[in-house]
Amino acid sequence: MARSVRGVIDEVYTFTSTDQGVHATHRLVAFIDAILAIAATVLVLDLRVDGDLAHHHLATQIREQLPTLLATLLGFVWIAGTWVLSHRQVRQLRGVDHYMSLFILASTLTVTLIPFATKLLAAGVGHADFWVGVEAVSVVILLSTLLSVWSARYAHARGLLLVATSPRTRGQRRPIALIIWYVIVALSVLAVLLAPFAPWIALGIIILTRISALLPLRSDRAGQPGTLS
């Protein structure tokens, strides 16, 4: 009985990663871009303009919505950095298997949470529970960073990279890019821990990590895997 059940499972499912086929990334990239575009659009839905022009009402509206405007700006920088990182990751892949696709799709879940997290952040400005919004943003960023790390490690172990990397020998220094990656993870954890006690410091750390995502890395140089020239 046990053998027959195992045989049915093996016939229907392919749980072993090495038995899974490797597929092109085109549809996956299109899906990621669509989610990012939708999230960027949702960011601005809370911005409102009342047509009453009396008594400098428009200027008052801008001042009242300043936290929302700044949170929207942070959200867009966040989404732009996510696009840069996802584009950089995918272009270094020769393809994806089922599990790699799930890793990347899980990362898109964090993208869908960006408008909600930034809305919490804006709503908390000037209130005692401001830290809740900062914590929400920090947790989403940490989750996104960890998923990115795990997916990169899986791609390396599964041989999904365009150019296979050699194992690091004893005494050999870690690549600078990998060290920066570890620093971003550490800063994300620090932001999560600091948010309840020092939310403005945690927010500063968050902004630093989001800006760093926009910076060009060595893998962006001409001649690197995935580039056209």
**What are the tens digits of pLDDT across the range 110-165?**
999 999 999 999 999 999 999 999 999 999 999 999 999 899 889 988 989 887 66
Assess if residue 162 is contained within a domain. yes
Q: Is the pLDDT of residue 2 over 60?
A: no
Assess if residue 144 is contained within a domain. yes
Average pLDDT score over the chain = 86
Domain count, the chain: 1
pLDDT value of position 42: 95
In eight-state DSSP terms, residue 127 is: S
Assess if residue 48 is contained within a domain. yes
Tokens of 154: 């899986």
Assess if residue 170 is contained within a domain. yes
Element (H, E) at 18: none
Assess if residue 1 is contained within a domain. no
* C-alpha torsion angle, residues 218, 79, 152, 213 (rounded to 10): 30
Give the structural domain span for 214: 22-220
Q: Is the pLDDT of residue 17 over 90?
A: no
Banded model confidence at residue 3, pLDDT cuts 50, 70, 90: low
Assess if residue 172 is contained within a domain. yes
Name the nearest CA neighbour of 75 among 126, 125, 107, 120.
120
Q: Is the pLDDT of residue 172 over 80?
A: no
Q: Is the pLDDT of residue 225 over 90?
A: no
The reported pTM is: 0.87
Q: Is the pLDDT of residue 183 over 70?
A: yes
Task: Give tens-digit pLDDT for 63-119.
Answer: 888 999 999 999 999 999 999 999 888 988 999 999 999 999 999 999 999 999 999
Report the C-alpha gap between 160 and 225 in whole angstroms. Answer: 12
